[in-house]
Amino acid sequence: MIYIIGGGITGMAIAYNFLKKNLKVTIIEKNKTLGGLADSIKINNTYIEKYYHHIFKGDDKFLSLVKELGLEDKLIWNKTKMGFYCNEKVYNFGTPTSLLKFKPLDFRDRIRFGKTILSFRKSEFTDDLDNISAEEILIKKSGKEAYEKLWKPLLKAKFGYRYQEASAAWLLGRIKPRAESRTTGMSSELLGYMTGGFHLFFEELKNKILDMGGTIIERKTVSKILVKNEKVIGIIINGKKIRTDKVIYTGSVSELTKICKFNKEYSDKLNSINYQAILCVLLEIKEKLSDIYWLNIADDNIVFGGVIEHTNFVSKSFYGNNMVYLFNYLDRKDPKFKLPDKEIIEIFLKDLKKIFPDFNEDKIVSFHVFKDPFATPIYDKGFGKRKPDYITPINGLFIAGMTDVYPFDRNMDGAVRIAEELTNLINED
């Protein structure tokens, strides 16, 4: 029996792949539902993700799995609008025309910014990008002014005070798929979603796993991975010892050292991977804020890094009202992360009114606050050399998670890809 720790998309895809090879698999998930960061809640008889999600046309691995599950007809593709909040004003952004009208930059810097995006679209990954900071390459390509007003706020929104450590390899891995998702002439971005939300995908995948003989254990925690002579011999789940010689771990790698004993060198390697937490507020409101789907915030005085109006991407007819995400990536030790939901809402709404002065609390139908302490690894310089391989020093213990998608940013397509790679690796073994 192969035990998979974590029931996010990576763990579920691994289980599904093994079951197709007639291997016995058990998923252990500490939460009451599967999906990980792509888990959903129910709003007015439909589902919406706790944290904003969409897919790209180039997400071949994920789209292949969607087709295999018979859900291809549930996919919807829409053009979206991007914006920037800068100098206390909302600007349209993301198209050649809007870039030329973007007044916070002078004309020369607007042209350089556009050329930077095009250069990333055509660029290929090289080993040296792992050792160069995103800041360095952006200043070189776009200039100091464009970096300070546009790129720097985007990096800070993602990595907080550690924004200068982000690698150029990660930057390319994040921008390239987005640039390639744009229609002819870079005029608009085409993004994908699923009718009924991605909850439908996870439910179908869960049912497939169960129908094929897989086992899913929810609301249970693995407290220890048992090792003898550098080999896995079992696990302990809520105090119960279970024998196994194969364990796949899909969580944050720094947490793995708390349940499995490694040599000092390997423990230090895993603990060197730092993570950012996320605070995400989901608002259900009566009136939409704008026509923009993704509004980047280039203002250090605003607590959140972006406003995502989900119902400017997917019809509000699914939900009955307008759905808006406000997100803030931050250090896990940041005091805001530990605040009660009510205080978080107050802070976020105060800043939302700065951007949209006509907004008030009377327009709110409901709100939800979601937190995750391990939302994303900090993909810093040299990450490619430090990230752990699938195979660990412990025979029978494998790692598959958000570290493995690098240099690309973590997303559902990357999760399906690493699940496929790990399945093939273990199958060969």
pTM of the model: 0.94
**SS3 of residue 3 by DSSP:** strand
pLDDT digits (tens, 9 = 90+) for 253-279: 999 999 999 999 999 999 999 999 999
One-letter identity of residue 229: N
Mean pLDDT over each residue of the chain, to the nearest integer: 94
**SS3 of residue 151 by DSSP:** helix
Token match 């805001």: residue? 336
pLDDT tops 60 at residue 148: yes
pLDDT digits (tens, 9 = 90+) for 10-57: 999 999 999 999 999 999 999 999 999 999 999 988 999 999 999 999
Token match 């009202």: residue? 321
Q: What integer is the mean pLDDT of 222-234?
A: 97
**CATH class in words for 106-185:** mainly alpha
pLDDT digits (tens, 9 = 90+) for 415-424: 999 999 999 9
pLDDT digits (tens, 9 = 90+) for 64-78: 999 999 999 999 999
**Per-residue confidence band for 123, with pLDDT thresholds at 50, 70 and 90:** confident
Q: What is the pLDDT of residue 129?
A: 94
Q: N- to C-terminal Cα distance for the chain?
A: 15
Q: What is the pLDDT of residue 429?
A: 64
Q: What is the pLDDT of residue 375?
A: 95
pLDDT tops 80 at residue 179: no
Q: Which residues lie below 8 Å from residue 1, measured CB to CB, with a gap of 6+?
A: 24, 25, 26, 244, 246
Instruction: For the chain, give every domain's residue range.
Output: 2-53+198-274+381-428, 106-185, 275-377
Question: Domain 275-377 is classified in which CATH homologous superfamily?
Answer: Protoporphyrinogen oxidase, mitochondrial; domain 2 (3.90.660.20)
Tell me which CATH code domain 2-53+198-274+381-428 carries.
3.50.50.60
Beta 2-5 vs 246-249: how paired, if at all?
parallel
